[in-house]
Amino acid sequence: MTSPLEVDVNGDIEKAFKNLKKKMAFEGIFKELKRRRYYEKPSEEKKRKKEEAERRRLKKIRRMNVSSSRVRKPSARGGKDFSREESGPEA
């Protein structure tokens, strides 16, 4: 169970309402209300949860690929390339 949502009202009720809606959307309350509007068979629920898990897994993989591509690569201006091992002095 989630904790209750609290929003500060400093005179501007419209701004407070907007903040409340933003918090509710972030918590997933709107999605949950829409989902509970109709009965969902257990087989459909399993299928939906499986698809959501797959979506999260793919998103995690994409984020990992983006962060690994941001690793500094050797410059093309003649910087030393440490990716290859060097085998001591050549004769």
**pLDDT tens by residue, 6-50:** 888 888 899 999 999 999 999 999 999 999 999 999 999 999 999
Q: pTM for this one? A: 0.51
Q: Around Cβ 19, how many Cβ atoms within 10 Å?
A: 15
Confidence bin at 68 (pLDDT 50/70/90): confident
Domain coordinates of the chain in residue numbers?
A: 13-68
Average pLDDT for the chain: 83
Task: Work out the angle at residue 85's Cα, subtended by the Cα atoms of residues 82 and 90, and round it to the nearest 5 degrees.
Answer: 115
Confidence bin at 85 (pLDDT 50/70/90): low
Residue 53 reports pLDDT greater than 90 = yes
57-66: average pLDDT: 92
Q: Give, as one character, the DSSP assignment of residue 12.
A: -
Long-range pairs for 26-30 at CB < 8 Å and ≥24 separation? 27/2
